[in-house]
Amino acid sequence: MVEFVVAGSLISLMGLAILQYGMLFFARNQMNHAAFMAARAGSMQHADLAAVRTAYTAALMPMYGGGTAAAQRSAPADKARTDVNANVRITLRNPTTESFADGKSDALQSTNPNGKRVIPNSGQSYKTPS
C-alpha cells in the first residue's frame, strides 16, 4: 500500500505534467497558426489591419470551444474578439510607405481599379536599382 501511494502519486504527477504540456503545445500552435492566417489575410487584402484582426480572431476561435450551429459558434467568437481587442496589438511593419514608393510600377498602378497602392511581386531582380 505504501509503494502504491508513493508510485501512484509520482505517476499521477508525471501524467498531469504531460497533459499540461500538451495543452500548452496546442495553444502555442494555435497562436502560430492564427498569426500565419492574419499575415495571409493582410497580404491578400492590401495590408488592411481590420482584415488582419478579423482573420486572427477567427483563427483563435477553436481555443474557446465551439459547435456546429451558428448559435454555438457565436459565444466563442465573442470571447475571442473580446480577448483580441483587449490584449493584441497589431502593427504594420512591412511594407512601409517608402517601399511602395521605391518599388512602384506606374503601369501596374493604372490597372488597379480601386486606387490602392501596389508593389509588383515578380521581376524585382531585373529592375534597375535606381
pLDDT band at 117 (very low <50, low <70, confident <90, very high): confident
For the cut 80, the answer to whether the pLDDT of residue 100 exceeds it is no
Q: Own/partner pairs for 32-36, CB < 8 Å, 24+ apart?
A: 33/59, 34/59, 34/60
What integer is the mean pLDDT of 60-84? 86
pLDDT confidence of residue 75? 87
Confirm whether pTM is higher than 0.85: no
Pair 92, 49: CB distance under 8 Å: yes
Task: Report pLDDT digits (tens) over 2-24.
Answer: 888 899 999 999 999 999 999 99
